[in-house]
Structure 1
Amino acid sequence: MKTLLPTSTAGSLPKPAWLAEPETLWSPWKLHGEELTQGKHDALRLSLQDQQQAGIDIVSDGEQTRQHFVTTFIEHLNGVDFKKRKTVKIRDRYDASVPTVVGPVTRQKSVFVEDAKFLRQQTKQPIKWALPGPMTMIDTLYDDHYKSREKLAWEFAKILNQEAKELEAAGVDIIQFDEPAFNVFFDEVNDWGIATLERAIEGLNCETAVHICYGYGIKANTDWKKTLGSEWRQYEKAFPKLQKSNIDIISLECHNSHVPMDLLELIRGKKVMVGAIDVATDTIETPEEVANTLRKALQFVDADKLYPSTNCGMAPLSHQVARGKLNALSAGADIVRQELASASANSSANSSANSN
């Protein structure tokens, strides 16, 4: 029987201290060679166990086998020189030293498929796998070859589609594309961003999701959020076109953000992964706080289409905090499930009383 309000995480979970520096993005690996391969798989198993113990319904690898949600994918492609670096402003917010596109981008072999197969062997639960979206990939590079953001995005979309098809064949149930850039480059999103995303999902039979958030809880992002005013209406720009797209699930940030909940009306009919856990604070939500976010979302999303989740990845948090947040997410979803079951039972009782 299908779980009502199936819970999941939006992306990364903390890595163990023996694998990489904790609470740090882009943290270098502490192991090498065969030890690193084994260590990544051990970390993936631990991450899965944390999710299962917390009662998370749709599990993931916690991004344990990648240093960063975008660059780890790009590292495996031809046409990108990681030694030739340039400083660019990522998502119009912060400077980062990034690799350079020096020739045609191509993928010689799959990037995550072996890791996905490994995760599939560990559990019978539905699994979700995250890939960077085309627009977010181009925003994490310096392009010295195509000289066109759009052209490069279409090339990446083709490569992502190849990877996604292999992930589906490996048994992945939901493939999620991370597109935080959708909250920044509004004209490009509507001109070609959503179109390139649709190219990335072409021919897939598994469920597809796009995750659009306001970023990890790092200082550059939290500082940016302070400039956005009392209402964050960025979603309003992309939602109408996404509602008409072939993407199955739209994943967004809700808890502790200034996103007006009624914006969800713009994607009515889609499945919605509602971020009910704030990843920019160490404060662990109470189950009731989570339940409250979900109740508000249910005014605009049908219960069978609501997927409680985290706002974004939790790699920069401590293990203890992340585990506490996962537990709160499960417990909060459970409160609302019971409320929905009780309301449904009362409604059935009333209708049968009326028919008598």
Structure 2
Amino acid sequence: MNKLLPTSTAGSLPKPSWLAQPEKLWSPWKLEGEELIEGKHDALRVTLAEQCLAGIDIVSDGEQTRQHFVTTFIEHLSGVDFEKRETVRIRDRYDASVPSVVGAVAREKPVFVEDAKFLRSQTTRPIKWALPGPMTMIDTLHDAHYKSREKLAWEFATILNQEAKELEAAGVDIIQFDEPAFNVFFDEVNDWGIATLERALEGLNCQTAVHICYGYGIKANTDWKATLGHEWRQYEKIFPKLRESAVDMISLECQNSHVPMDLIELIRGKKVMVGAIDVASNTVETPEQVADTLRKALQFVDADKLHPCTNCGMAPLSRSVARGKLQALGAGAEIVRRELSGN
């Protein structure tokens, strides 16, 4: 991707109402069997077309084939019992009923590879595929087997690496690992979280990214953000070590957040996915607001390393709001592109 300021999304996009209930996380499917497979493919085609129309350069599946960015991957692994549920605290923020690890975890077959092949067959644009990161996976489970967050994270890292290599072979250009847990468990991130992430991307030749945000625009997350004060400096604790890591690209949440832009300086040399779209608001940004965020970021990241992006996934938003935000992202990036090229 040689285009200056290539745009992409951080992850999920809203599902059509005929596939799942809109504006809801973990929404059950409305179709079954062959109809569900066809419905997922249709939804992926629609979301791909909307990204292209909005001027999104690096496209994704919008997670149309998944109910949730973490649990859908875990569902396909052995060693996890979805019937044996326990209530755990997710990212020290809210309680959720989650499945239990009851034995050795393993990936017996590919999880997203066929979906990635389908996406690859539908477009010539660069494609990005998101996987849950090891630390965020362990934070979404009750571990009744390993009794060690670190040991389970290393096991998941090995499994993720298997999946990532097959996604690369299927034609994926960028593999992104979602690690919102990196913004919470700072000591563990530096002790072993980044190391397990590096294990997950070991041996990959495609571009790799880690997405670190403050979460979906759901009440538990927005309530937490309200307690963080006028400056959000969480990235400061993990960026120095991430700068030294093997990951190519790092995302951060910038639009309507209280993240000081100068923290980007801590990852100088990496490609930076700058979140220029707020996913916790139904207000659609103007292209000029997006452009202004990107201009501020350019004080701390070279233009050839800036990737305009969304703060996080947009699954909880309405399709019309998400569509407007995608269009603003594409148009805002184009404004700054023209400024940089002198046109």
TM-score bin (small chain): over 0.9
Matched, 1:272 2:276: no
3-state SS of 1:98 partner: strand
Matched, 1:152 2:147: no
3-state SS of 1:83 partner: strand
AA aligned to 1:273 is M
* Structure 1 equivalent of residue 52 of structure 2: 52
* Structure 1 equivalent of residue 65 of structure 2: 65
CA distance in structure 2 between the aligned counterparts of 1:232 and 1:226, rounded to whole angstroms: 10
CA distance in structure 2 between the aligned counterparts of 1:231 and 1:68, rounded to whole angstroms: 30
5 Å matches for 1:117-136?
117-136=117-136
* Structure 1 equivalent of residue 294 of structure 2: 294
Residue deviations 1:67-90, cap 9 Å, x none? Answer: 000000000000000000000000
CA distance in structure 2 between the aligned counterparts of 1:63 and 1:98, rounded to whole angstroms: 20
Residue deviations 1:225-261, cap 9 Å, x none? Answer: 0000000000001100000000000011001000000
* Structure 2 equivalent of residue 303 of structure 1: 303
* Structure 1 equivalent of residue 209 of structure 2: 209
CA distance in structure 2 between the aligned counterparts of 1:115 and 1:37, rounded to whole angstroms: 10
* Structure 1 equivalent of residue 170 of structure 2: 170
* Structure 2 equivalent of residue 179 of structure 1: 179
3-state SS of 1:277 partner: coil
CA distance in structure 2 between the aligned counterparts of 1:95 and 1:38, rounded to whole angstroms: 34
Give the drift of 1:2.
1.3
AA aligned to 1:181 is A
CA distance in structure 1 between the aligned counterparts of 2:275 and 2:41, rounded to whole angstroms: 27
CA distance in structure 1 between the aligned counterparts of 2:38 and 2:286, rounded to whole angstroms: 36
TM score, norm. by length of structure 1: 0.96
CA distance in structure 1 between the aligned counterparts of 2:55 and 2:278, rounded to whole angstroms: 18
CA distance in structure 1 between the aligned counterparts of 2:166 and 2:38, rounded to whole angstroms: 22
AA aligned to 1:251 is S
3-state SS of 1:280 partner: coil
- % identity of equivalent residues: 83
* Structure 1 equivalent of residue 74 of structure 2: 74
Give the drift of 1:184.
0.2
Unaligned runs of 5+ in 1: 346-356
CA distance in structure 1 between the aligned counterparts of 2:24 and 2:49, rounded to whole angstroms: 22
AA aligned to 1:24 is K
CA distance in structure 1 between the aligned counterparts of 2:142 and 2:231, rounded to whole angstroms: 32
Two-structure CA RMSD over aligned residues (Å): 0.7
Give the drift of 1:54.
0.5
Residue deviations 1:17-69, cap 9 Å, x none? Answer: 01000000000011111111111111000010010010100000000000000
Residue deviations 1:183-239, cap 9 Å, x none? Answer: 000000000000000000000000000000000000000000000000000000110
* Structure 1 equivalent of residue 239 of structure 2: 239
Give the drift of 1:129.
0.1
AA aligned to 1:313 is G
Matched, 1:7 2:7: yes
CA distance in structure 2 between the aligned counterparts of 1:172 and 1:100, rounded to whole angstroms: 31
* Structure 2 equivalent of residue 325 of structure 1: 325
Matched, 1:198 2:198: yes
3-state SS of 2:240 partner: helix
* Structure 1 equivalent of residue 251 of structure 2: 251
Greater radius of gyration (CA): 1
* Structure 2 equivalent of residue 348 of structure 1: none
3-state SS of 1:334 partner: helix
Runs of at least 4 residues of structure 1 off by over 2 A? Answer: none
* Structure 2 equivalent of residue 93 of structure 1: 93
3-state SS of 1:250 partner: strand
* Structure 2 equivalent of residue 142 of structure 1: 142
Unaligned runs of 5+ in 2: none
TM score, norm. by length of structure 2: 0.99
CA distance in structure 1 between the aligned counterparts of 2:209 and 2:224, rounded to whole angstroms: 25
CA distance in structure 2 between the aligned counterparts of 1:189 and 1:77, rounded to whole angstroms: 24
CA distance in structure 2 between the aligned counterparts of 1:320 and 1:45, rounded to whole angstroms: 17
* Structure 2 equivalent of residue 112 of structure 1: 112
CA distance in structure 1 between the aligned counterparts of 2:3 and 2:226, rounded to whole angstroms: 37
* Structure 2 equivalent of residue 349 of structure 1: none
Q: How many residues align?
A: 343
Give the drift of 1:157.
0.0
* Structure 2 equivalent of residue 334 of structure 1: 334
AA aligned to 2:320 is Q
AA aligned to 2:82 is F
CA distance in structure 2 between the aligned counterparts of 1:222 and 1:301, rounded to whole angstroms: 28
* Structure 2 equivalent of residue 353 of structure 1: none
3-state SS of 2:323 partner: helix
CA distance in structure 1 between the aligned counterparts of 2:311 and 2:71, rounded to whole angstroms: 21
AA aligned to 2:121 is Q
3-state SS of 2:197 partner: helix
3-state SS of 1:56 partner: coil
